[in-house]
């Protein structure tokens, strides 16, 4: 991680044995109270009827995994389970949202009700692999979007970062792990933003200048986690089996990649991969209950791979053994000692003053070496491990470092003139009488003058973030691509940077593949040192017969090279163009909306038989589709003929949402052709049939979401209706089911007036997606469309282009996107409250209410078919009380309380309430959680 060393408190590392004691104590207390698991018989050390505020010590984790939704951690559960069983490592999970915006394969619940379901699923799933702590930040989960900037807006990124920093400072993990932060094609914007937050929290939590009120007012301390890892690995996995940790080939050899084999046998006799799969089936609302078994042959099971972004301790680079024991390598130096390595608790922090260096240039490497508490490091020396031909400062003899003290040594690294442009690894070797250690930093050797294809908006924002945070090595995860309409022309911007000491002049040219041409070399002059200038080059697709979307090139990419020539030579950089399909649509008479497609009704035919996600169609009868488009006056008309051999689940009209669960058609329009994300587009999904015998439509993941209405289904016997409400006024649809069932036909009318902006007739974006589901479990199998790339439903820039003939479309007022969605509060989540009681970590990543204004339950009793709780408050606020029978909520009350004692009656239904959980939302600051149990004598009545 190329960064400045963060300031902060010296870290502490209790022994694994001490950690296990803490874990067992917390679990035993929770079980004794009946806050998890089976109902308790009695607690020998907790008087019946007394309040319990949780253990005296706060949570203390070895690993903290940060994700956006429940189930984001699901593919790493085998790893967490093995670490727990073999090494006693405690893992916790941060979930920014509860996934309220996702689908629901088990019922009609959505919003906060679905969020509570998904939280319970997550806790049950991770609990089977020994993970007991799940921290929810209570941010809203909205529709599927691949835009991190949109999530930053919806989540209030700075405030959310503060919550995450607070959780890190409270739970004190040795290792922070997270998802892929880059805007890779199809990567959920929530996943990106969760990872961006995790990476920034790793730095911010260690810096007392970041969120200082947590230190000065809340009594927290800065916390410097030892390692930072992400799932953003790029490369090729080799053989499965126990050798998989060493058989991975990184796309970038300088990356520190670690593999943990999932095939190791657990104490249960099953492999950890099998246990992970059993755990994953708990995410039933997401359609995971039917996941197939994994192989029972360990040799057929592969690895989970993680990429290390930073380490503040000595580490072993990658997995150097192939005997199956390498699952501990990630933990070594942070949680576990390394064989022959420096003592656990030793700090080794390496940083550079720059990430990029030109040939003939130099950089400074700073090394901070810290002796562990209680142990001196003697006869210590630090040496550079440089690429061949590079030179640097000599070995630094440090000598003795007193326990708990740090020394800093700086090294100058010189890059030879003529060094190839590439990434290189600078290593740091530490040797002392107590052991040896290793650290490293990536450096990128770059040309003096270089031109790179302009980045997409999200990529440009991501790259700027990496430079601000100091993780420039994460740049390059996303391949530089731009889209080009088939047979069309576009301006390609090339950003030319001068890293030299004198002004630069030269020219930019593009080495394009067959079927493409450019206007030829374009000059730049007098580019000042340190400046970047954009040079525009016109590019044309001369061969309109070339395959478009993911049908052509390498996954749809037509690769080319940017050539930048100056006095310093010719620099080359890789780039790619992606062809998207185009259609010219005439202004015709309005088609008859009867669910029958007549010859000549539509102006243009489009191919919707291209797969972009899911399993391949077995043949055309299994799934295929053709579409047609026309314009008639101030509306766009679309018809789609779908061939399908099996009708999936038929939903009720009231459940006309989350269309990807069943057979459906989605129509997407980007009126300006310039949308960065779908919040400025129109997307309507049509279900061809419902249990009421009518078609229905709704909007999702666009400018204004919600139900549109029900529509005529030919031959279905239903009563036709028009769009209702203000979601899509004027939208019309009609559906015909083929009998016997072999598919369906849908015709739809989209008035231009319903779009979120005025249509640009020369470059309107359009796409049509066919979702095919042959099962009855509300899960999709295959996704087809017109312009098809992975995750294309969230990428308007990859949609096809439609040129509209006729008069200029009517002016439409630009409308702001709707981003108001309900999220479940942890105050209303019994599992979250129970955890807060156990760990003493406040709800939602927010502050703990100060004791002087807090509140707690001091007594509970059963009386007259109800639970009576006595709440003692020292400040005003709102008390959320839940009467519990095991894990079942049998009664609840929400009451306002003032300073003093408040008696609350909680009526129960079904089983009696034998314990009460309470979350207190203080009017002054933060929240507090408490619990109390009903006396045993009353339970036995």
Q: How far apart are CA 421 and CA 112, in angstroms?
A: 52
> What is the CB neighbour count within 10 angstroms for residue 210?
20
Whole-Å CA distances, 603 to 257, 319, 607: 53, 59, 14
| Residue with the two structure tokens 């470092």 | 401
pLDDT value at residue 913: 87
What is the pLDDT, as a whole number, of residue 552?
A: 83
- The C-alpha angle 665, 670, 674, rounded to 5 degrees, equals 145
Check if the beta carbon of residue 474 is closer than 8 Å to that of residue 195: no
With a cut of 50, which residues of the chain have pLDDT below it? 1-57, 322, 717-721
Nearest to 793 by CA among 696, 698, 685, 690: 685
Same domain, 410 and 558: no
Main-chain phi, psi angles of 754, to 5 degrees = -90, -10
Distance (Å, rounded) from C-alpha 419 to C-alpha 564? 18
Report whether 845 contacts 164 (CB < 8 A). yes
Q: What is the pLDDT of residue 4?
A: 33
Q: Which residue has the tokens 């940083």?
A: 351
Choose one of 554, 580, 606: the last residue of a domain.
580
* CATH number assigned to the domain comprising residue 545: 2.60.40.10
Q: Are residues 425 and 392 in the same domain?
A: yes
Q: What is the CA radius of gyration of the chain?
A: 30
Of 288, 259, 346, 296, the residue nearest 82 (C-alpha): 259
How far is 263 from 242, CA to CA, in rounded Å?
7
Q: Which residue has the tokens 């093995």?
A: 82
540 forms bridges with which residues in the sheet? 489, 517
Quick one: 292 and 371 in the same domain?
no
The DSSP code sequence of 835-846 is HHHHH-PPGGGP
Distances from the Cα of 280 to the Cαs of 77, 106, 267, in angstroms?
9, 15, 19
Q: Are residues 98 and 232 in the same domain?
A: yes
> 818 CB contacts (<8 Å, ≥6 apart)?
703, 704, 705
Residue 143: the pLDDT is 93
SS3 544: coil
CA distances from 888 to 37, 107, 120 (A): 11, 19, 11
Same domain, 233 and 318: yes
33 within a domain of the structure (yes/no)? no
Residues 296 and 362 in one domain: no
- Claim to verify: residue 670 and residue 763 sit in the same structural domain: yes
Q: Locate tokens 């130096």: which residue? A: 333
Regarding whether 495 and 423 lie in a shared domain, the answer is: no
* Inter-residue contact 371 to 404 (CB < 8 Å): yes
Structure confidence at residue 576 (pLDDT): 97
Number of structural domains in the chain:
5
| Cα 678 to Cα 157, 664, 670, distances in angstroms | 20, 19, 8
Are 788 and 894 part of one and the same domain?
no
Angle 897-903-906 from CA coordinates, rounded to 5°: 100
Burial class (CB in 10 A: 0-12, 13-18, 19+), 368: middle
Residues in Cβ contact with 619 at an 8 Å cutoff, skipping those fewer than 6 apart: none
371 and 405 in contact (C-beta within 8 Å)? yes
Is-contact 903 879, C-beta < 8 A? Answer: no
Last residue of a domain, one of 580, 613, 643: 580
Residue 812 belongs to a domain: no
Q: Which pLDDT does position 776 carry in this prediction? A: 86
What ranges in 477-545 are assigned the alpha helix state H? none
Q: List C-alpha distances in Å: 750 to 398, 664, 666, 728.
A: 74, 17, 12, 9
Q: Is residue 38 part of a domain?
A: no
**Same domain flag for 552 and 635:** no
29 within domain boundaries: no
> Same domain, yes or no, for 588 and 574?
no
Look up residue 205 and give its DSSP letter: T
Residue 10 falls inside a structural domain: no
Domain finish residue from 295, 329, 363: 329
- CATH (domain of 84): 3.40.50.10320
User: Which SS3 state, helix, strand or coil, does residue 211 take?
Assistant: coil
Query: Is 325 part of any domain?
Result: yes
Q: How far apart are CA 94 and CA 164, in angstroms?
A: 8
Asked if 309 and 453 sit in the same domain, the reply is: no
CATH number, domain of 625, equals 2.60.40.1190
Instruction: Tell me, yes or no, whether 820 lies in a domain.
Output: no
pLDDT at position 778 is 87
In a domain, 362, yes or no: yes
Range of the domain at 370: 340-445
């Amino acid at each position: 991680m190329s960064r400045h060393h963060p300031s902060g408190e010296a870290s502490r590392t209790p022994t694994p044995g001490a950690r296990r004691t803490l874990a067992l104590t917390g679990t035993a207390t929770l079980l004794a109270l009946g806050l998890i698991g089976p109902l308790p018989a009695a607690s020998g050390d907790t008087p019946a009827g007394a309040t319990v505020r949780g253990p005296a010590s706060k949570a203390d984790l070895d690993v903290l995994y940060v994700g956006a939704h429940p189930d984001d951690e699901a593919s790493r559960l085998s790893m967490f389970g093995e670490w727990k069983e073999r090494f006693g490592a405690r893992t916790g999970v941060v979930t920014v949202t509860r996934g309220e915006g996702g689908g629901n394969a088990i019922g009609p619940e959505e919003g906060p009700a679905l969020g509570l379901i998904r939280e319970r699923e997550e806790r049950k799933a991770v609990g089977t692999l020994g993970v007991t702590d799940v921290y929810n930040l209570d941010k809203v989960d909205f529709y599927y979007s691949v835009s991190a900037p949109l999530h930053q807006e919806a989540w209030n990124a700075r405030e959310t970062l503060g919550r995450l920093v607070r959780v890190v400072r409270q739970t004190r993990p040795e290792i922070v792990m997270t998802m892929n932060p880059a805007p890779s094609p199809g990567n959920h914007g929530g996943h990106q933003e969760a990872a961006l937050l995790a990476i920034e929290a790793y730095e911010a939590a260690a810096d007392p200048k970041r969120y200082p009120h947590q230190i000065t007012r809340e009594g927290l301390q800065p916390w410097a986690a030892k390692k930072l890892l992400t799932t953003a690995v790029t490369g090729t996995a080799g053989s499965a089996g126990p050798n998989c940790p060493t058989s991975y080939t990184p796309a970038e050899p300088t990356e520190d990649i670690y593999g943990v084999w999932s095939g190791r046998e657990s104490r249960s006799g099953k492999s950890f991969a099998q246990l992970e799969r059993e755990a994953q089936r708990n995410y039933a609302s997401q359609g995971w209950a039917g996941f197939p078994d994994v192989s029972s042959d360990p040799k057929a099971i592969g690895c989970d791979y993680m990429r290390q972004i930073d380490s503040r301790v000595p580490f072993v680079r990658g997995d150097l053994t192939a005997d199956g024991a390498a699952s501990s390598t990630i933990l070594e130096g942070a949680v576990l000692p390394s064989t022959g390595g420096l003592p656990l608790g030793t700090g080794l922090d390496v940083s550079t003053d720059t990430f990029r260096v030109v040939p003939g240039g130099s950089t400074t490497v700073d090394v901070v070496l810290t002796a562990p508490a209680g142990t001196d490091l003697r006869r210590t020396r630090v040496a550079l491990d440089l690429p061949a031909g590079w030179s640097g400062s000599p070995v630094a003899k440090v000598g003795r470092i007193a326990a708990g003290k740090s020394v800093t040594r700086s090294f100058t690294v010189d890059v030879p003139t003529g060094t190839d442009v590439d990434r290189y690894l600078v290593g740091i070797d530490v040797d002392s009488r107590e052991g040896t250690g290793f650290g490293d930093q990536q450096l990128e050797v770059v040309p003096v003058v270089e031109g790179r294809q302009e980045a997409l908006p999200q990529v440009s924002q991501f790259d700027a973030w990496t430079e601000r945070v100091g993780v420039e090595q994460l740049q390059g995860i996303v391949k530089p691509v731009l889209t080009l309409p088939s047979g069309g022309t576009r301006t390609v911007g090339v950003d030319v940077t001068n890293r030299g000491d004198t002004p630069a002049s030269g020219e930019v040219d593009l080495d394009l593949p067959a079927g493409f041409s450019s206007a030829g070399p374009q000059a730049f002059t007098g580019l000042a040192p340190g400046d970047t200038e954009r040079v525009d080059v016109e590019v044309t697709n001369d061969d309109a017969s070339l395959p478009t979307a993911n049908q052509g090139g390498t996954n749809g990419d037509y690769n080319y090279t940017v050539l930048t020539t100056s006095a310093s030579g010719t620099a080359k950089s890789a780039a790619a163009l992606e062809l998207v399909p185009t259609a010219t649509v005439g202004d015709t008479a309005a088609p008859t909306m009867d669910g029958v497609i007549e010859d000549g009704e539509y102006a243009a035919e489009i191919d919707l038989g291209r797969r972009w996600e899911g399993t391949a169609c077995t043949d055309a009868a299994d799934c295929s589709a053709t579409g047609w488009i026309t314009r008639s006056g101030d509306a766009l008309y679309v018809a789609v003929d779908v061939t399908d051999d099996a009708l999936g689940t038929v939903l009720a009209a009231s459940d006309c949402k989350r269309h990807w669960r069943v057979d459906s058609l989605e129509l997407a329009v980007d009126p300006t052709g310039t949308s960065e994300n779908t919040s400025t587009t129109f997307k309507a999904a049509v279900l061809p049939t419902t249990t009421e015998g009518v078609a229905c439509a709704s909007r999702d993941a666009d400018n204004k979401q919600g139900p549109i209405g029900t529509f005529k289904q030919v031959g279905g016997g239903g009563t036709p209706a028009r769009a209702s409400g203000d979601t899509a006024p004027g939208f019309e649809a009609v559906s015909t089911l083929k009998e016997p069932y072999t598919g369906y036909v849908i015709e739809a009318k989209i008035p231009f007036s319903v779009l979120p902006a005025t249509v640009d007739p020369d470059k309107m974006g359009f796409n049509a997606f066919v979702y095919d589901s042959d099962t009855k479990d509300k899960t999709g199998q295959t996704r087809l469309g017109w312009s098809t790339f992975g995750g294309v439903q969230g990428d308007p820039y990859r949609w096809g282009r439609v040129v509209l003939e006729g008069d200029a479309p009517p002016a439409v007022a630009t409308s702001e996107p709707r981003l108001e969605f309900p999220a479940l509060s942890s105050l209303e989540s019994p599992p979250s409250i129970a955890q807060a009681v156990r760990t003493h970590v406040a709800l939602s990543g927010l502050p703990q209410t100060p004791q002087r204004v807090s509140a707690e339950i001091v007594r509970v009793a059963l009386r007259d078919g109800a639970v009576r709780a006595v709440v003692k408050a020292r400040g005003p606020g709102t008390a959320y009380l839940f009467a519990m029978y095991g894990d079942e909520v049998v009664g609840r009350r929400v009451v306002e309380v003032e300073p003093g004692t408040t008696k609350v009656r909680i009526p129960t239904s079904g089983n009696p309430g034998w314990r009460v959980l309470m979350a207190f939302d203080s009017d002054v600051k933060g929240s507090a959680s408490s619990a109390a149990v009903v006396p045993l004598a009353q339970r036995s009545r």
